[in-house]
Amino acid sequence: IVAVHGLDGDWRGSWTVENGTYWLQDLLPQRVPEARIYSYSYDSRTRGSDHELTLGISDHGRALVSDLTIERGLTSEADSLEALLNSYMADIDHLEEQKSIELSTYAVMFLGTPHRGSEGARLAKVLTTILSIFSHTNIKPLHQMESDGEWVEELQERYNSISKSFKTVFFYETLAMPIPFGSTIVVPKASAVVPGAVDTESVPMVADHSTMVKFSSAGDANFEKVSKRLEFYSRSATQVVKKNWERWFIKKSTATFQAPDRAEDKRLEARVERVPEEFRLGVTFKTVWNQHFTGRNRTLQLIDDILRPGSHRMERKEAVLYGTGGIDARRPDTVKTSITECGNHILGHYRINGLRENPRFQFLEETIQSGHISRALSMWLGHEENDSWLSIIDNLDDPKTIDLKEILPPKAKGSVLITSRRSDLAITRNSIQVPLMEQDEAFTLLTTGIPQGPEIGTDEWRNAQAIIQRLAYLPLAISQAGAHIAMNPSEMPFAAYLDLYHRYPKEILSRKARKAAWDEKDDTVLTTWEISFEAVQNQMPEAAEVLLVSEYLAPEGISQELFTFEGFFSG
């Protein structure tokens, strides 16, 4: 358990009440005796220093993940969030030792953390500016933490995209804290609790911003709220973290991204180190990472062979993945939204890393604000020093929806990966046909998430093989079938699913969507979705109604608040 204090805090003082009780040391060990408990110390001062202070929250986050690399484990505060993001970006042969933080983190508990900034930061900023006359101050982190600031919004979006990997608890204050000339709730609930993260809980604390992290006795109601959750998580964490590491070692043992020789690896590492900070963005799209991905090693190797940058790159590299696996062709409005999000993410990267004075940021911001987002993105990708990017254009089944020449500069040095069901797109590009899954790959995909798969040679094993064959070895169909089986356990779950599949109305099974000449996909995917939907209708009709109503709404129009209005779906 690692406790991380906030700005202008102290590793001991922030957690100690006036009677001297330091609950991390005096109370918590009795509740979780098997845990190692740390209080992380770092210079978070914004004022009162005898030397110059320049570090921002991102700097503190990077330092934290580095310091915790060996120790592992993590809870609480904004800097720890930045640390998790840095750890999540680590991978095989890239800061691999820092991956231990992400793999060994089970839960994150935010105690009054201002995810949407804090009004208190504005007051502190004014005070710090005044004190700068008398001593060294650091206004950078206070500027970042101002209410509804772009920096905190960008940081929260990045955390939400990886939150599926952790339990998240948001504690929020309910009492106003005394401040000069009055009192205020420093971090209101709207800032302390942010929708969008996966697997979260929000908990009120009858305390102000300072006392919500200070507990005087084991009977303190707020201490009970924190310690009981730590007790509960400590019982579950060991097994979950063990599985995280097992998956990681499997990934390492089957890793396909290996250079032909170590000399080539070193050349690549040296080239990456030369990439300016402004072009080191990481992943720019919002996604929930699939930790159960399986198979496709040969396809991954082919992608790597085509797109791996050489020591002397003179032109853009392109690869097209085509086959029957693609679905959901892009609409023009989806493409426009995606390009807009990429542009805004790039702007956010400049802001977070203090690069606002960079001329390229100013040009990029002005061009995007004028409505020429595609032009801005194209010019940014085309900069001479920007030669290590990868652009993924997913489900390009209708070339009319996107003009590649408009967003990809001809002289750019990055890489482009296109996925499509159209084999004709591969004629003028390096192409990789994605075959149907192999028998073993399909079986692994079907049984992923099921506690105990069928033993070889048993009736259930044969039923599982029959399901794979009926679903034509299509990954999406198999994945959906596996999810249905996992959610409906029985003595013979594979037999039950196979029976349901056989009994499904013939008119549904024979219904085919109108196909273009290039479309080789059969609609078994639709069939498996219908089966899953029928199960939802039987078990929870209200949930099925929610899905039916939601299909008429754009994704951005489906918010958490929509489901809180009583009678909205039932009338």
Residues 243 and 391 in one domain: no
Residues 44 and 148 in one domain: yes
Secondary structure E strands in 292-372: 317-323
Residues 332 and 465 in one domain: no
Residues 422 and 485 in one domain: no
Model-level pTM greater than 0.95? no
Helix or strand or coil: residue 312? coil
CA–CA dist 351, 193 (Å, integer)? 23
Q: Which residues of 483-505 are buried (b: 16+ CB within 10 A; e: fewer)?
A: bbbeeeeeeebbbbbbeebeeee
| pLDDT at position 75 | 41
Residues 295 and 387 in one domain: yes
* Residue among 301, 310, 304, 306 nearest 271 (CA): 310
**Residue 569 domain-assigned (yes or no):** no
Query: Is there a contact between 237 and 41 (Cβ–Cβ < 8 Å)?
Result: no
- Name the domain boundary from 434, 468, 489: 434
Q: What's the token pair of residue 133?
A: 């006359």
Domains in the chain: how many in total?
Answer: 3
In which band, very low, low, confident or very high, does the pLDDT at 81 lie, cut at 50, 70 and 90? low
Least confident of 1-15, 259-273, 374-388: 259-273
Residues 24 and 145 in one domain: yes
**Residue 427 domain-assigned (yes or no):** yes
According to DSSP, residue 295 is labeled: -
Residues 100 and 209 in one domain: yes
| pLDDT at position 267 | 55
Q: What's the token pair of residue 396?
A: 């390009």
pLDDT (tens digit per residue) in 481-536: 887 888 888 889 899 888 888 776 444 344 444 444 434 444 455 655 666 677 67
Residues 9 and 69 in one domain: yes
pLDDT (tens digit per residue) in 293-318: 766 778 888 888 888 765 445 567 88
**Domain at 382, CATH number:** 3.40.50
| CA angle, 311 then 312 then 318, to 5° | 95
What domain range includes position 106?
Answer: 2-253
CA–CA dist 389, 249 (Å, integer)? 27
Q: Average per-residue pLDDT in the chain? A: 74
Helix%, strand%, coil% for the chain, nearest 5: 50, 10, 40
Residues 405 and 446 in one domain: no
Query: Is there a contact between 47 and 128 (Cβ–Cβ < 8 Å)?
Result: yes
Phi-psi region of 234 (alpha: psi -120 to 50; beta: other; left: phi over 0): alpha
Give the H or E element holding residue 172: strand 167-173
**Residue 388 domain-assigned (yes or no):** yes
